[in-house]
């Protein structure tokens, strides 16, 4: 059976994702699609709209055949580490192809860009340090550094988020000497960060979340942009758990943490750089909402995403020593769900996987899994009463979701 791998968050699963999965299977003649999907907290340092279990149901209903969890250690990291973890999971699961969406859509330009950067790595890294020292964010510094090298050919635009991720996927495949082949599909219509609907059927996950959390908060407003199965699962989740997850739900917990920790302790949390701890404490003492807090701490040097990741690691009590940056590959494959085709693939190929498959928490232990469990517990705290208890119980009692 031929397997195509995708790296996803599905926050939530929408029509653009549906196009990507179907095209990935069709164009590359794959029997199944395997997703490495972020857990309850995401790469931009924010809580997922709905739990990983609800998002697994959305994925399986719309064409994905196997969903493995991308552990917190990788899911909440900058692009390079995020890509390394995802590639290690898909490679271990025997995926023949990693298919990613990109603004470029041209694999040859990615190959030329990677080769160019390999030949000019010392100058490139020096330029990144220079632009970072001038107060630019890391993503901005990468884009400026690349432009400053005056490439004479047609290369990938490294100011675009999905192009950056795609480049890191391909570099990770090379570094890990994975037998996977990389392929890319052009993203349709909507930009990654677009906040407003710009098409009749395709919208970014950002614009969908904005509509759900808007003043009206009407579900009907997003209906045309998501598969019917996603729409149904979102309604069901809202009814069962009392609402969706956003940073505002966690703000009282974060504020308490910042107010009761001293600067020296805050410095120990992952991604907190020297001097930032005082800014965090000062802003927490006056902000009434997470939005106010973020606006108070935002600077030219730190992107909103980077600061949200800092806040997330403080919220989850994740220290620098727990996120050792030299560790770039996963230790296990946590199975969240599979279709009938996916189960057939697992039965046929599992013995050849290079990592153990976990379907029960009691079957495995390790620091990465402990981080995932802790993150799941904190994720549940946004809800009240029975909803919180149910979310907590799911982490330990929910078996992989099976769909025919």
Which residues line the annotated binding site for ATP?
Answer: 7-20, 101, 162, 187
- What's the rounded Cα separation, in Å, for the pair 150 and 145? 9
Partners of residue 35 on adjacent β-strands: 6, 67
Count CA within 13 A, CB hemisphere, residue 30: 28
- What's the rounded Cα separation, in Å, for the pair 110 and 174? 13
Nearest Cα to Cα of residue 263 among 223, 314, 210: 314
DSSP strand pairing (97-102 vs 181-186): parallel
Q: 264: Cβ–Cβ under 8 A, 6 or more apart, which residues?
A: 277
Q: What residues are designated binding site? A: 7-20, 101, 162, 187
Partners of residue 274 on adjacent β-strands: none
Helix (H) or strand (E) holding 148: helix 138-148
- What's the rounded Cα separation, in Å, for the pair 382 and 247? 9
How close are the terminal C-alpha atoms of the chain, in Å?
18
Give 78's DSSP letter.
-
Q: Is the dihedral of CA 270, 37, 139, 195 positive or negative?
A: negative
Helix (H) or strand (E) holding 130: helix 121-133
Cis omega (within 30 of 0) for bond into 69: no
């Amino acid at each position: 059976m031929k397997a195509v791998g995708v790296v996803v968050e599905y926050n939530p699963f929408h029509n653009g994702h549906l196009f990507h999965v179907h095209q990935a299977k069709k164009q590359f003649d794959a029997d199944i699609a395997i997703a490495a999907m972020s857990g309850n907290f995401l790469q931009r340092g924010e809580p997922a709209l709905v739990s990983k279990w609800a998002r697994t149901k959305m994925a399986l209903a719309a064409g994905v055949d196997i969903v493995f969890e991308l552990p917190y250690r990788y899911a909440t990291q900058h692009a390079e580490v995020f890509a390394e973890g995802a590639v290690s999971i898909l490679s271990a699961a025997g995926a023949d192809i990693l298919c990613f969406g990109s603004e470029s859509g041209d694999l040859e330009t990615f190959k030329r860009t990677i080769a160019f950067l390999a030949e000019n790595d010392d100058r490139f890294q020096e330029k990144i340090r220079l632009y970072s020292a001038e107060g630019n964010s890391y993503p901005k510094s990468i884009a400026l550094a690349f432009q400053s090298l005056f490439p004479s050919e047609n290369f990938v635009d490294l100011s675009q988020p999905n192009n950056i991720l795609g480049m890191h996927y391909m570099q990770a495949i090379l570094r890990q000497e994975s037998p996977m082949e990389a392929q890319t599909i052009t993203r349709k219509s909507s930009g990654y960060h677009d906040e407003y609907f710009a098409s009749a059927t395709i919208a970014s996950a950002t614009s969908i979340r904005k509509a759900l959390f808007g003043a009206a908060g009407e579900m009907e407003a997003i209906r045309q942009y998501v598969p019917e199965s996603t729409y149904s699962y979102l309604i069901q989740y809202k009814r069962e758990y009392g609402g969706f997850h956003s940073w505002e739900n966690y703000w009282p917990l974060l504020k308490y943490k910042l107010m009761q920790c001293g600067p020296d302790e805050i410095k120990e949390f992952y991604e907190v750089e020297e001097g930032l701890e005082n800014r965090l404490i000062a802003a927490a003492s006056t902000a009434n909402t997470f939005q106010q807090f973020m606006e108070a701490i935002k600077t030219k040097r730190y992107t909103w995403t980077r600061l949200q990741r800092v806040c997330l690691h403080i919220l989850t009590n994740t220290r620098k020593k727990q996120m050792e940056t030299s560790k770039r590959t996963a230790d296990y494959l946590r199975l969240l769900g599979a279709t009938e085709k996916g189960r057939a693939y697992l039965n046929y190929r599992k013995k050849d996987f290079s990592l153990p498959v976990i379907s029960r928490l009691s079957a495995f232990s390790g620091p990465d899994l402990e981080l995932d469990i802790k993150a799941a517990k904190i994720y549940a705290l946004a809800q009240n009463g029975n909803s919180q208890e149910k979310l907590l119980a799911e982490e330990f009692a929910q078996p992989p979701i099976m769909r025919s």
